[in-house]
């Protein structure tokens, strides 16, 4: 594969505006940004697409709800649909106590959904394909759920790690496993979203690369031209089908992230399971 056309090139974070807090550039004017001893808080394409996602969500929700008619317009029913989807999810999984966490979970869902979907547009940047972004989201959920659990149940929350009705010798084995599976939650939650996005976009790029490679055969002999024509059309059809699959994955992963957040929240709010 030619230089500069790696399937992973699309995930490169580039600085748009260079901001350095507290540090300095040892050799300014050489065109290379350095931030020694300070915090590199540059405005990157990742920050740009996060802002675009937030702006789009705000525009979508504010403008679609402006009419507030009893019989919703198409846009209004889309906004109501997304609201009801999350409200039902919280009611089914957490119950009525979960209602006060609705704003957080709804924001989480919309942010992940819009970041995933914006990433499907060619030449854009997928924010959720970076582990640090998804890990930050998952870690906020993890810390929040743990605090809610301890605030609601005090030290009784530790009983979450002790399965009931298990003989004492087995507890020595089971409690560490339960603690480990609790601590691994933010990792699995973030890696699931990140790996799905990265794998999907890499796969699209690889199959797109097949089209270009096979078109390169068209300059060859008659047999090679036949392979090139058939192969590139097949690869293009496959890329289109994969794009459809990826849009589905984008929706599904936003759903999975949110429903797992609800399940973790239910553990913290109700405990008995």
Partner 1 sequence: MEADAAKLIGAGLATIALAGVGVGIGNIFGSFVSGALRNPAAAPKVFGNVLLGFALTEAIALFALLIALLLLFVF
- Which positions touch partner 1 (CB under 8 A)? 8, 188, 191-192, 195-196, 198-199, 252-253, 255-256, 259
CB of 259 to partner 1, least distance (A): 6
**What tokens were used for 136?**
């930050």
CB 243, CB 204: distance < 8 Å:
yes
CB of 20 to partner 1, least distance (A): 27
Scan for tokens 């599976």, then name that residue: 181
Nearer to partner 1, 220 or 248 (CB): 248
CA pseudo-torsion sign 62, 67, 71, 72: negative
Nearer to partner 1, 157 or 255 (CB): 255
Nearer to partner 1, 162 or 184 (CB): 184
CB 64, CB 75: distance < 8 Å:
yes
Can you tell me the distance from the alpha carbon of 184 to that of 162, in angstroms, rounded to the nearest whole number?
A: 17
Nearer to partner 1, 153 or 192 (CB): 192
Nearer to partner 1, 107 or 188 (CB): 188
CB of 227 to partner 1, least distance (A): 26
Three-state DSSP at 43 gives strand
Please report, to the nearest 10 degrees, the dihedral formed by the alpha carbons of residues 85, 90, 91, 97 taken in order.
-150
Can you tell me the distance from the alpha carbon of 80 to that of 65, in angstroms, rounded to the nearest whole number?
A: 9
**Backbone phi, then psi, for 15, in 5-degree steps?**
-80, 130
CB of 199 to partner 1, least distance (A): 5
Nearer to partner 1, 148 or 259 (CB): 259
CB of 195 to partner 1, least distance (A): 4
Per DSSP, 166 falls in state -
Three-state DSSP at 61 gives helix
Nearer to partner 1, 120 or 256 (CB): 256
Can you tell me the distance from the alpha carbon of 127 to that of 114, in angstroms, rounded to the nearest whole number?
A: 10
CB of 193 to partner 1, least distance (A): 9
CB of 56 to partner 1, least distance (A): 24
């Amino acid at each position: 594969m030619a230089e500069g056309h790696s399937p992973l090139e699309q995930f490169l974070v580039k600085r748009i505006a260079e901001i350095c807090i507290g540090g300095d550039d040892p050799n300014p004017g050489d065109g290379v940004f350095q931030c020694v001893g300070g915090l590199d808080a540059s405005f990157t394409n990742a920050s740009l697409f996060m802002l675009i996602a937030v702006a789009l969500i705000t525009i979508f929700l504010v403008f679609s709800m402006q009419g507030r008619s009893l019989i919703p317009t198409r846009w209004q029913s889309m906004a109501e649909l997304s609201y009801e989807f999350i409200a039902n999810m919280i009611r089914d999984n957490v119950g009525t106590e979960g209602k006060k966490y609705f704003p957080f979970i709804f924001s989480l869902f919309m942010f992940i959904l819009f970041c995933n979907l914006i990433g499907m547009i060619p030449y854009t940047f997928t924010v959720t394909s970076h582990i640090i972004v998804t890990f930050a989201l998952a870690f906020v959920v993890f810390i929040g759920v743990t605090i809610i659990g301890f605030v609601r149940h005090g030290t009784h929350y530790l009983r979450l790690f002790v399965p009931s009705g298990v003989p004492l010798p087995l507890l020595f084995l089971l409690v560490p496993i339960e603690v480990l599976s609790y601590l691994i939650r933010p990792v699995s939650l973030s890696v699931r979203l990140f790996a799905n996005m990265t794998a999907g976009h890499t796969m699209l790029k690889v199959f797109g690369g097949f089209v270009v490679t096979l078109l390169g055969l068209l300059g060859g002999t008659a047999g090679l031209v036949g392979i090139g024509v058939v192969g590139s059309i097949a690869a293009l059809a496959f890329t289109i089908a994969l794009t459809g699959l990826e849009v589905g994955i984008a929706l599904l992963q936003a759903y999975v992230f949110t429903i797992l957040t609800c399940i973790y929240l239910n553990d913290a709010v109700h405990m008995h399971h």
